[in-house]
Amino acid sequence: MKNKSLIREGKAQFIVGNTFYRSQSKVTRDLGVLAAATYKQSQGELRVLDVMTGCGVRSLRYYLESGADYVWVNDSNPENQAVIETNLKNILQENKAKITYNNANEIFFDCYNRKDYYDLVDVDAFGSPNPYLSTLLWATKIEGLIYLTCTDGRTATGHLPEKSLQVYGSYGRSHPAAQEQALRLLIGSVLQQAATMGLGIKPIFSLFTGQTYRVMMMLLPKINLSLDNYGFLGYCHQCGEYTTVSYAKLGKVSCYHTVEDTIYPYTISGAMWLGNLHDQVYLQRMKALAETLEWRERVDLLSMMINELDFPPYFYTLGEIGRRGKLDLPKRSQLIERLQTKGYRAAPTHINPQAIKTNANLKMCIEIAKY
């Protein structure tokens, strides 16, 4: 092992050795711990399946901080065995965990064959988790949680639209709110896959950290895919406006410019999830727990996520407002306050520190920013 020094994160102490570990991803693990602990509080039981464990820090924290009753720890690389078993030796001695070294799909098949379903299935994939979507649902308990990672931002943000079609079954195009699109493409993929099994999903929270996309979802017993929550996003490159487009309206929606008396076609991305990125009640419970733990930064993040709920499925960047309005970059807090004064809803978004969520259109944002 290269790195034998002891690292502390939350209540966990562990070594990294030759395994992969990013200290910058602590926020994603913190939110996972809070969501899992909230689930344990309501359900009274928490069994976790961590199929791409790396050094094992997530499994360790689920056990120590979320109160997991049992953790199945898996990694496809048997060379990580020494590190993983060193880090999890106390849980193993208490017979509260088991460790395997298999491909994640093999684990999901095994769970399904033995009817061994888990309350939380964590898939911390490198790249896209989509190769595992059709099988991970088989290992998840109904109304259990699914926690997915995506690190392939270029594909989901429209820089590789053909690859997006291959991976997500959706055509992602580039535009200023493309980071939110990446989250929605991932949620939409799970929604569609669940529907093929007669099931549904509900996003608990959707997180973008600047490098990694993380989505926590709940598996529902009935299909909830509909033309209202699964459709397309249109973006007009001419004026910068967005619109949502249902399957029924495909080919029938264009952006009309009154000044030029000209119609321009929207650039269409999708299909994707068009509903809320977070569940308000669940986030409030996670926030209350974070307050008890005195996790100040996580309380602030969860507050922002709660406030960005129930807006259209896109945001406006301050740079885009300034560029199209030919004005200096507006201050986010002042623009939000002015929009609210004018009767619009507006809030900052955690996805981009230089962007706002609002029900006003871009033209109104520019006018308010000017005056």
With 0.85 as the threshold, say if the pTM is over it.
yes
Side-by-side strand order, sheet with 346-348: 316-317, 355-358, 346-348
Residues 216 and 337 in one domain: no
Q: Are 279 and 170 in the same domain?
A: yes
Residue 23 maps to a domain: yes
Cis, peptide link before residue 271, omega less than 30° from 0: yes
State both tokens at 271.
């299909």
The residue assigned the tokens 């407002």 is 321
- 211 in any annotated domain: yes
User: Do 297 and 171 share a structural domain?
Assistant: yes
Work out how many domains the chain is built from and give that number.
Answer: 2
Query: For residue 64, is it within any domain?
Result: yes
Q: What are phi and psi of 68, to 5 degrees?
A: -60, 135
Residue 264 lies in a domain: no
Given 283, 307, 331, the domain boundary residue is 307
What is the spatial distance between Cα 50 and Cα 62, in angstroms, rounded to a whole number? Answer: 10
**Strand 213-220 with 200-208, pairing:** antiparallel
Residue 30 lies in a domain: yes
Radius of gyration for the alpha carbons in the chain, expressed in angstroms and rounded:
22
Residues 20 and 87 occupy one common structural domain: yes
In a domain, 52, yes or no: yes
The answer on 71 and 21 residing in a single domain is yes
pLDDT tens digit at each of 371 positions of the chain: 455 689 999 999 999 999 989 999 999 999 999 999 999 999 999 999 999 999 999 999 999 999 999 999 999 999 999 999 999 999 999 999 999 999 999 999 999 999 999 999 999 999 999 999 989 999 999 999 999 999 999 999 999 999 999 999 999 999 999 999 999 999 999 999 999 999 999 999 999 998 899 999 999 999 999 999 999 999 999 999 999 999 999 989 999 987 778 999 999 999 999 999 999 999 999 999 999 999 999 999 999 999 999 999 999 999 999 999 999 988 999 999 999 999 999 999 999 999 999 999 999 999 999 98
Q: How far apart are CA 314 and CA 115, in angstroms?
A: 40
Q: Which of 179, 46, 59, 185 is nearest to 129 (CA)?
A: 185
Asked if 144 and 203 sit in the same domain, the reply is: yes
Cβ contact 267:237 at 8 Å: yes
Asked if residue 288 and residue 215 are part of one domain, the reply reads yes
121 assigned to some structural domain: yes
Do 181 and 210 share a domain, yes or no?
Answer: yes
15 and 97 co-located in one domain: yes
Structural domain that includes position 345: 315-371
**Residue 182 sits in the same domain as residue 330:** no
For 16, half-sphere exposure in the C-beta direction (CA atoms, 13 angstrom radius) is 10
User: Quick one: 323 and 205 in the same domain?
Assistant: no
For residue 340, what is the domain's CATH number? 3.30.56.70
- In a domain, residue 258? The reply is no
Angle value at C-alpha 278, between 194 and 151, nearest 5 degrees: 70
**Same domain flag for 11 and 125:** yes
**CATH number reported for the structural domain that contains residue 191 in this entry:** 3.40.50.150
